[in-house]
Amino acid sequence: MNSINIDISGNSAIGEKEVNINLEYYRKLVKKLCDMRQYQTALFWAEKVACLSLNEPMDVYYKANCMFLLKQYHRAAHTIRFHKLENTNIICYNLLLHCLYEAKEYKEAIGVIDFVEIEFLASSLLNQSLDGQSQKSFGIDEKECNKNEILASINLLKGKIYEAIDNRSVAMDCYVQSLYNSVYCYEALECLVQHEMLTAWEEKELIRQLPLKHQSSEVEGKFITKLYETKLKKYYETMEPLKKGDQTILKNMKIIKELSEKIEKLRSSEASIHKNVISKLSTPFYKIFEDIKDFTFSFQFSLTRASSHSSVLQRSVFESPNHNSTGVICASNTGLALSTCLARLHKSTDVMGAQAERLFYDCEYKKAFKIINELLKIDPYDKVALTVQIGCLIEFGDYNKLFYMAHKLVDHYPDDAISWYAVGCYNDLIGKNDLARSYFAKSTSLNRLYAPAWLAYGHSLAKEDEHDPAIAAYFKAMQIMRGCHLPLLYIGVEYGLTENLELAEKFLYQAMSIAPLDVSVLHELAVINYKCERYETAEEIFRTTVDIISHRAKQNKEQISVRWEPMFNNLGHCCRKNKRYKEALKYHQFALLLKPQTPRTFSAIGFVHALMGNLEEATVCFHKSLALNHECIVTSTILKTCIEDLMNDDSIIEEICGRTNLKSKVFKVDIVEEDLASPMKFECKGDVSKNGDDVDATNRCSKNK
């Protein structure tokens, strides 16, 4: 069989004129093909250009980049390593890290990070020429990028790699460095905020210390600040006065100030003890709790290190509308006034999503849902908006829309965590708890950093009184979303249900330090104070919570939501314990208005009437309660006592006829004894703590970062 030889020698025939191949044309062709998403064709020509140029770094980079775009990550990484460009070319180094990250080769990526000195490569980029070649020969055009932008990209990628291996403290540091390298690197801020790596104070401090004056004009700095501030904590409220008058939304701020002082004292007292204990105890609880309290030091260290780098003093080479390539401010007909820009941004999907999140965390679900619907018309697959929409649909109990939404997400994004999270929420809403838990578990397996799924998984366990597994899930969520109060709140609730009141109080105080005016945190803190028999303190906290809720309802011209019915009942219990019977009746009756035909509320009203000596009214209320729930032993016991007391009275007939109004002697002593399941104990287990947990049902299933 004859062999076929392909002649590519390039020897010209005698007398023929030599023809040159224009490599620049093919380089531009590769870029155009990439822009048109013809990656395979682009790779074909990129490989030929690299071969013709004897593997110049720029051409090898574009060849590897085409492989990356084709999702051939290992092949692209090998191409860069074969030519040893990761040690000499920062652009190739950046691409190599991207390849290893997408291929989930995190250990290899960490090895590359540790081996290569980034600052040396960055200095070589702008100040030196390697091997006598020009900067352009390394694939870098100064008009396209500069040291700051490249360093920002690399630090961002390093943060993602460290976060993937659960080293969140180093990841946080990398994200901060990235944002300092380039104030335009929004993705770094998004990782810090969406992954709840910082507290509310730390987020504000980060924005305040950004080197805006070195990398942008004064006007652009204000514009960037306004944009970034919309992405910060949505549930954090300060205790600043309202615009009208000097009064705050609370009638009495004394209890909030006292609780804040108690938090500070608790921190200072634990600091000295913890130093001695932590060396002896190495349980996961102590490690996580220590990380929570000491993380601010790490954040401050990151800020100091980032601000000390000289690279932040270099203005970004990306030309803004008000700058030319030399960084000099210039006039432009395309420029817009700052006020005009800010006004137009109200239609931005990011700004709309941030506004909806803020309303959601303020329990203004109707307003949030309205904004989300407008947003989803523009961008129907915005993940932040979809998470808020899921929470709103759960709050409304609209399982039909939730089913349709979950079905659509699974069809379009079967490998995305939010899709199976939505399916789990639907099954949880219709009462299929086991099935919901399996879908939440699948969501966490697809994305270990998706915190709402961890919270929802914990709730599915808590509903079946599996407290220890639920606490473990909440601890995982707490590690993921360190700057969010919700995991701390739910851990405190679970410890309260298991009667570990000291630990419950610590976690609730920690949650309050993050969100000082969150009504759910205040409610659960009041429950713990009640269980600790600090009735006056519990009543003050409940009253403060009622003030906040009433103010929001009045401000929005809405009625108080039914979801707050347990809180008014609990306040009534506290008033009863403090012998303010008339006020107790008022709050119980208001709870009955919010949610009529509730047996426990009728029992509570009857109990207060009995303590006041109004045995007829008490008997009527107990009968109404038993008509709705005839299995309540507590109500039956108290009703029996009331009837016996009435029957033992000689003037019972006259009393029934309404001629006299005798007081019972039986109720001079409180009927609540340690060996009797009192209505309050019943309410604490079935109403105060449990319903306090149910009050946050929407926050549980939302990102609640």
Q: 3-state SS string over 509-574?
A: HHHHHHCCCCHHHHHHHHHHHHHCCCHHHHHHHHHHHHHHHHHHHHHCCCCCCHHHHHHHHHHHHH
Residues 215 and 355 in one domain: no
Query: Considering 204, 229, 254, which residue would you say is the last residue of a domain?
Result: 229
* Euclidean distance between CA atoms 121 and 115, whole angstroms: 12
Burial of 22 (0-12, 13-18, 19+ CB in 10 A): exposed
Residue 378 lies in a domain: yes
Indicate whether 496 pLDDT > 80. yes
Residue 676 lies in a domain: no
Q: What is the mean pLDDT of the chain?
A: 78
* Euclidean distance between CA atoms 656 and 646, whole angstroms: 9
Residue 500 lies in a domain: no
Q: Give me the phi and psi of 75, to 5 degrees please.
A: -65, -45
Residue 310 lies in a domain: no
Q: Strand pairing partners for 329? A: 323
Check residue 52 and give its pLDDT: 92
Residue 212 lies in a domain: yes
**Range 69-98 average pLDDT:** 93
Hey, is 146 helix, strand or coil?
coil
Separation in Å, CA 213 to CA 180, 181, 182, 302 = 12, 13, 12, 20
Indicate whether 576 pLDDT > 90. yes
* Euclidean distance between CA atoms 704 and 569, whole angstroms: 26
**Range 578-584 average pLDDT:** 92
Token pair listed for 466 = 């599996």
Residues 212 and 354 in one domain: no
Token pair listed for 541 = 């906290």
Residue 59 lies in a domain: yes
Read off the DSSP letter of residue 235: S
Q: What is the percentage of the chain residues whose pLDDT exceeds 70?
A: 71
Indicate whether 85 pLDDT > 60. yes
Q: Structural domain of residue 126, as residue ranges?
A: 23-229
CA 59 from centroid of its chain's CA atoms: 42
Largest CA distance in the chain: 138
Query: Considering 432, 448, 464, which residue would you say is the last residue of a domain?
Result: 448
Q: Strand pairing partners for 508? A: none
Task: Give the range among 134-143, 290-299, 591-600 with minimum mean pLDDT.
Answer: 134-143
Check residue 135 and give its pLDDT: 47
Residue 61 lies in a domain: yes
* Euclidean distance between CA atoms 646 and 668, whole angstroms: 15
Check residue 300 and give its pLDDT: 65
pLDDT tens across 226-255, in order? 999 888 876 655 444 333 444 444 555 566
Query: Considering 229, 253, 278, which residue would you say is the last residue of a domain?
Result: 229
Q: In this structure, what CATH number is given to the domain that contains residue 225?
A: 1.25.40.10
CA neighbor of 64 nearest in space, from 110, 30, 18: 30
Residues 77 and 207 in one domain: yes
Residues 221 and 364 in one domain: no
Structural domain total, the chain: 2
* Euclidean distance between CA atoms 175 and 153, whole angstroms: 10
Residue 46 lies in a domain: yes
Number of H helices, E strands in the chain: 37, 0
**Is the separation of the CB atoms in 231 and 190 below 8 Å?**
yes
**Is the separation of the CB atoms in 600 and 683 below 8 Å?**
yes
First CA to last CA distance, the chain: 70
Query: DSSP for 151-167?
Result: HHHHHHHHHHHHHHTT-
Contacts of 336 (CB under 8 A, 6+ apart): 321, 344
